[in-house]
C-alpha cells in the first residue's frame, strides 16, 4: 500500500489512478510523509473585511494550501445577518464554483450539506475519513464551505 499523491488515501501500489479521487499517480511516487497536515481552517470573516478583500484572502489561502500539499480547507465565510446569505458567502461560493469548473479545486461541499446522509459528504468521508470527527459535521452550518483542493 502507498498513499495517493493527490488525496492521501491508502491505495494499492500498482494502481496508476486513485479509486478515491481519480488522481493520476506518478511513475515513482515514493513515500508521502504522514506528518503533513491535510486540513486547515481559513476564516474569511476575521476583521469584517469587504467582499473584495475576503475573496483575495480566499485566493491566497487556496494557493498556500496547494503549496503546502493540503487536501481540505474549511472556509469560514459567514452567512450574514439577513438570513439570506451574506455577500461574502454568496461571492465565495460563486468563486469556488468557477474554480471547480476550471479544475483548480477538486470539489466543495456547502456547510449546510456537510452531513453524513448527504451523498457528497459520504464521498468526502470515504476519501478523508479524518473528517468524520470534524466539529461541523451534521451541524448544518451555512457559514462554512468545505473545499477539496
Same domain? 11 vs 77: no
Q: Average model confidence (pLDDT) for the chain?
A: 85
Taking residues 64-78, report their average pLDDT.
93
- Looking at residue 145, what is its pLDDT? 97
- Looking at residue 118, what is its pLDDT? 87
Torsion of CA 106, 58, 137, 8, to 10 degrees: 40
Q: Nine-digit cell at 146?
A: 468545505
CA distance 67 to 1: 25
Q: Which residues contact 86 (CB under 8 A, 6 or more apart)?
A: 77, 78, 79, 80
pLDDT tens, residue by residue, 100-116: 999 999 999 999 999 99
CATH number of the domain bearing residue 107: 3.30.1370.110
pLDDT over 50 (residue 43):
yes
pLDDT over 50 (residue 13):
yes
pLDDT over 90 (residue 85):
no
| Domain, as residue range, for 21 | 1-35
Instruction: Give φ, ψ of 112 to 5 degrees.
Output: -70, -20
Same domain? 76 vs 46: yes
Strands annotated E in the chain: 2-3, 10-11, 39-43, 72-76, 107-110, 144-148
Collapsing DSSP to helix, strand or coil, 117 comes out as: coil
CA distance 141 to 144: 6
Confidence of residue 30 (pLDDT cuts 50, 70, 90): very low
Same domain? 69 vs 92: yes
Same domain? 28 vs 67: no
As for how many domains the chain has, the answer is 2
Q: Which residue has the higher pLDDT, 16 or 92?
A: 92
Amino acid at each position: 500500500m502507498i498513499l495517493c499523491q493527490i488525496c492521501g488515501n491508502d491505495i494499492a501500489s500498482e494502481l496508476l489512478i486513485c479509486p478515491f479521487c481519480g488522481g493520476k499517480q506518478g511513475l515513482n511516487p515514493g513515500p508521502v510523509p504522514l506528518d503533513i497536515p491535510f486540513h486547515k481552517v481559513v476564516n474569511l470573516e476575521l476583521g469584517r473585511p469587504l467582499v473584495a478583500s475576503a475573496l483575495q484572502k480566499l485566493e491566497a489561502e487556496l494557493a498556500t494550501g496547494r503549496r503546502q500539499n493540503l487536501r481540505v480547507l474549511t472556509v469560514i465565510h459567514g452567512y450574514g445577518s439577513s438570513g439570506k446569505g451574506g455577500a461574502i458567502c454568496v461571492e465565495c461560493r460563486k468563486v469556488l464554483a468557477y474554480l471547480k469548473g476550471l479544475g483548480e479545486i477538486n470539489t466543495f461541499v456547502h456547510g449546510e450539506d456537510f452531513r453524513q446522509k448527504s451523498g457528497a459528504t459520504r464521498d468526502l468521508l470515504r476519501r478523508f475519513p479524518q473528517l468524520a470527527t470534524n466539529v461541523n459535521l451534521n451541524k448544518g452550518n451555512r457559514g462554512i464551505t468545505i473545499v477539496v483542493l
